[in-house]
Structure 1
Amino acid sequence: MGFSCWGCVCLENIRETLTRYMRKHNMNHSRFSELSGINTGTLSRIIKGSNPISVKQLESITQAMGLAEDSLFDAYVEECFAFAASIRRIRPFIIKCAELGRLDCIERIVPRLLDNLSYVPALFEVAEELFTRKHYQAAALLYDNVSKAEKFQHSERLAFCRYRLFLIELGTDLEKNYKAAMVFEDYVNRLHEADQLEALKRLIDVLVTVHKWKKVDELAEEMLRIAQIQYDLHAGGMEKKPERPIYFYILYALLIRSAVCEEYKDYEGALQYVSLYTAGGSWVREDDEEARFLINQFVEWGKANTYLYQLWSGESAALHNYADFVADHPEEIFVALCNIVQAANQFDFDIDGILERFKAYIPFQAIEGRYGQYSNSILGEKYAQFLSDLAVYKFNKSPENTDNAINLILEGLDFSVKINSVRNMVTCMTLFEQYRDFADQEAKGKFKKLASEVHRINAEKNVVPISFV
């Protein structure tokens, strides 16, 4: 026989549905051919089971019968294997399933197809097509199955699948992002050098949000090493280009290392890195619009950070210099406000005028852009911290007017829960307990509700819950 018994059943299922419809409506082949646009001879061979059904033909049959677009998808899963499995027929079906959200069909197809490992490269290409089309969950199913099929190969394709899965998993939940980063980290050095650079940047951006500064510095050092080698080796251009120009990764690695120095309060070291990433114009070979834009952007960041490091050193004159500088750079204002509030709490600066000046920039807003210094996850974490820092400033500035400060703490806790920032949850809960006596019953009720949510999150992660007496 040309196909197995289960194959016969599947053929009967799809074809019986069609035959039953034609009998019910007293249709011959010619009439249904007119409705569906399928050639009469082809239709006859389909019904007899001598021809496989293409996805285009499936769509025509379904539409002619007046059925929902995915009504015959379950039966078509078996149709895919009734004749010799063909990636030419299966690929458009997988894509159609992704478009219509029928991930269940994809889950049934892919493992069976991968019983034959020769299909691995083709399925990887389909996964890439789905990723490009932003059908991320469908793509993830394929990447996951391909990586399982290649788990003993230690191949670049395996590493790239894990990289794609890491990118797909990234979202607003900082702890989940961190776990995804830790799973992927073991694969990053197996990627092609062009992919390694962007992968390292993505890892760094995740680790910054959870304040893993030692690891951030290690990865930035590795990014710098790889980027410098590749930039020196490929003066004429790389065969496979990274997502951004190679010199960008050199400058970004230096920027990150200055941020690490800042975190450790080594402002002299931070300024040394500032001098390096603002000097791109002296060594970057490219002279196109993109290069000029990026070099200038790092120079601008260097100016802002120089004021910032002066501010962190307690120089009060830097406060208004910093504010005046970022006033001309709106994309930097929110982050500057985060830094200014922290400095005000540390050095007892009066920043009421600055807060009023930039009040329109205080609500958190996601940003769009390819070369921004801060990803949306980093900005989200900064906003959660900003709310608690601003609450402390309000308490210190006006101990007699605490309602606003209490509300800021609760807003910060609520936002921290939404993005699952454990560090900021602890900060906000600690602050609320510190100032509990200033809270009214409504505020205490909100805190109790949010605290319950924190305990639920911790219980799901099987960690010791945050608790206060």
Structure 2
Amino acid sequence: MMDWTNSIREKLMQHLKDNRIKHSHFAVASGINSGTLSRILQGNKPISMKQLIAITAGMGLPEDYFFDDYINECFSFSISIRRIRPFIFRCADFNRLGCIQQVTNRILEDLSYVPVLFDIAEELFNTDKHAAAEILYRGVCEAEKYQHSERLAHCHYRLFLIDLGDDIDKNVRAATQFETYVNRLDETDQLAALKHLMHVFGMAHKWDKVDTLAKELHRIATIQYELCYRSARPSEVKKGTERPIYYYILYAYLAQATASEKCGDFKRALEIVGLYDHGERWIREKDEEAEQIIGQFSEWAAANTYLYRLMSGEVHVLDEYADYIATREGEIFIALWHMIRAANIYHINIDNVLERFAGYIPYQSGEAEFGEYKPNIIKEKYIQFLGDLAVYRFNEGKDFHSATELMLEGLNLSIAMGSSRIINSCLAIFEKIREHSEIHKATNSIENKVI
């Protein structure tokens, strides 16, 4: 038994008294059994989450009215996960994060509940209640900070994913903090984790890091793929991976080729392209998903072969490259950006290409499709695209006003992203354009548009 003078019980009793409502009538109105209601009021029975909702509705109050009081209810009789779990979920629905924090702090006074709290965090994460899940994951991390457990590593992985946003520098800090825990994850989780890390470091142009992570991804995925087909039950080995294991092998090759390209090693990039092309030669799966994945990587291989040849100085492939990507709308914007980069390096005129694909330039069309590229990646690519297009216009010596406006738009977007590296890059190009005497007047007239 507990002291019945709990705030919820006191307020319910006062409500019945003030409104002259009999217990039996309130029981009927709220849907709570009359005997159960009496035991609750006498302090002989804890209030379940379902009963709390019924009591609150019967009193005509907002559903979360008693949430602060209910924290004590969760712990007064005994710690009951049957009360705590639904309470945490309702708090998440109402964004009552303070209540979740209090419950987390109290339940972790007994470390035997760490596994249960972790399981609840996973449920929250998988239902996109990330703010609530973050509180629980941090609680579990604190409780297990001196352990080298897989659960601790998994919590840090989840916190890394939750922290990812549009701020590239913040993402890199989160990735750097998480990276030390990758090798403690289950090997199937390592595959997706390494892929996420490569994305973050790629956005920050840390290509040596991307190449290193890609090699590790290839090593782990290859081992897992071989184990899968040595096992008597291959489906059990594959269980738990976000994508088929062979996908990560192909992706590791793609990432290595991209890292080589970004470092200017187009010879190595061309050599690696062949490793993620023609996957049907070694991939054992023959289902529809495998066919789709193999086809996608083969398309990327074909497009990247044109790209690497173009960037190597084979400018004669430009028109062939343009014809190839013309029927692949999801790849046009990125390919067009690469063509502009090549034009700036080798001083070639691509006005006809820009005119041909004008509808796929985001600032002109506003509706360009980007295939499998994620929005935050496209945002950075678009800023770089604006800068390179501004340089192209400037080098043409024809449209300095357009070049300046393109660079100003890129500068504004880079400030919004919060990336000091991109901001500095935009400023360097902008200052080069500003210095040109023929556009000083045009620059002064539009500088007020910044921010």
Assess same fold via TM > 0.5. yes
Secondary structure at the counterpart of residue 6 of structure 2: helix
Cα deviation code 1:104-128 (max 9, x no counterpart): 1001110110110111111111111
1:116 aligned to which of 110, 113, 126: 110
Shifted more, 427-436 versus 119-128: the winner is 427-436
- CA–CA distance in structure 1, aligned partners of residues 57 and 168 of structure 2: 45
The answer to whether the 8 Å contact 1:366/1:376 transfers is no
1:446 aligned to which of 424, 427, 449: 449
Letter of the 1:350 partner, please give it.
N
Cα deviation code 1:341-367 (max 9, x no counterpart): 111111112111211222222117797
- CA–CA distance in structure 2, aligned partners of residues 398 and 129 of structure 1: 58
- CA–CA distance in structure 2, aligned partners of residues 76 and 108 of structure 1: 11
Whether 1:412 and 2:410 are equivalent positions in the alignment is yes
- CA–CA distance in structure 2, aligned partners of residues 268 and 404 of structure 1: 35
- CA–CA distance in structure 2, aligned partners of residues 62 and 322 of structure 1: 66
- CA–CA distance in structure 1, aligned partners of residues 86 and 170 of structure 2: 32
Letter of the 2:424 partner, please give it.
V
Cα deviation code 1:209-253 (max 9, x no counterpart): 000011111100000000111111111234443111000000000
Whether 1:326 and 2:325 are equivalent positions in the alignment is yes
Q: Are the structure 2 counterparts of residues 191 and 92 from structure 1 closer, same or farther at C-alpha, using a change threshold of 3 Å?
A: same
Aligned equivalent of 1:33: 27
How far 1:188 sits from its partner (Å)? 0.4
Mapping for residues 29-428 of structure 1, pairs under 5 Å: 29-235=23-229, 236-239=234-237, 240-363=239-362, 372=372, 374-399=373-398, 401-428=399-426
Shifted more, 411-420 versus 109-118: the winner is 411-420
- CA–CA distance in structure 2, aligned partners of residues 438 and 193 of structure 1: 60
Secondary structure at the counterpart of residue 285 of structure 1: coil
Letter of the 1:222 partner, please give it.
E
Whether 1:16 and 2:41 are equivalent positions in the alignment is no
The answer to whether the 8 Å contact 1:251/1:298 transfers is yes
How far 1:442 sits from its partner (Å)? 4.3
The answer to whether the 8 Å contact 2:330/2:370 transfers is no
- CA–CA distance in structure 2, aligned partners of residues 336 and 153 of structure 1: 47
How far 1:434 sits from its partner (Å)? 2.1
Cα deviation code 1:310-333 (max 9, x no counterpart): 110122221111111111111111
- CA–CA distance in structure 2, aligned partners of residues 71 and 367 of structure 1: 46
How far 1:433 sits from its partner (Å)? 2.1
Secondary structure at the counterpart of residue 416 of structure 1: helix
The answer to whether the 8 Å contact 1:14/1:72 transfers is yes
Letter of the 2:64 partner, please give it.
D
When the two structures are aligned, how many residues end up with a matched partner? 438
Secondary structure at the counterpart of residue 435 of structure 1: helix
Aligned equivalent of 1:430: 428
Letter of the 1:425 partner, please give it.
I
- CA–CA distance in structure 1, aligned partners of residues 81 and 22 of structure 2: 32
Cα deviation code 1:51-81 (max 9, x no counterpart): 1000000100111111111111010111111
- CA–CA distance in structure 2, aligned partners of residues 28 and 255 of structure 1: 72
- CA–CA distance in structure 2, aligned partners of residues 73 and 368 of structure 1: 45
- CA–CA distance in structure 1, aligned partners of residues 322 and 192 of structure 2: 32
Shifted more, 263-272 versus 75-84: the winner is 263-272
- CA–CA distance in structure 2, aligned partners of residues 268 and 392 of structure 1: 26
The normalised TM-score by structure 1 is 0.90
How far 1:267 sits from its partner (Å)? 1.5
- CA–CA distance in structure 1, aligned partners of residues 43 and 142 of structure 2: 35
How far 1:280 sits from its partner (Å)? 1.1
- CA–CA distance in structure 2, aligned partners of residues 434 and 397 of structure 1: 14
Secondary structure at the counterpart of residue 234 of structure 1: helix
- CA–CA distance in structure 2, aligned partners of residues 329 and 112 of structure 1: 56
Letter of the 1:435 partner, please give it.
I
Structure 2 segments unaligned to the other structure (5+ residues): 435-439
Structure 1 segments unaligned to the other structure (5+ residues): 451-469
- CA–CA distance in structure 2, aligned partners of residues 94 and 136 of structure 1: 13
How far 1:368 sits from its partner (Å)? 8.4
Letter of the 2:306 partner, please give it.
Y
How far 1:375 sits from its partner (Å)? 3.1
Letter of the 1:130 partner, please give it.
L
The answer to whether the 8 Å contact 1:36/1:64 transfers is yes
- CA–CA distance in structure 1, aligned partners of residues 355 and 131 of structure 2: 44
Cα deviation code 1:28-66 (max 9, x no counterpart): 101111210001111111111111000000100111111
- CA–CA distance in structure 2, aligned partners of residues 383 and 30 of structure 1: 67
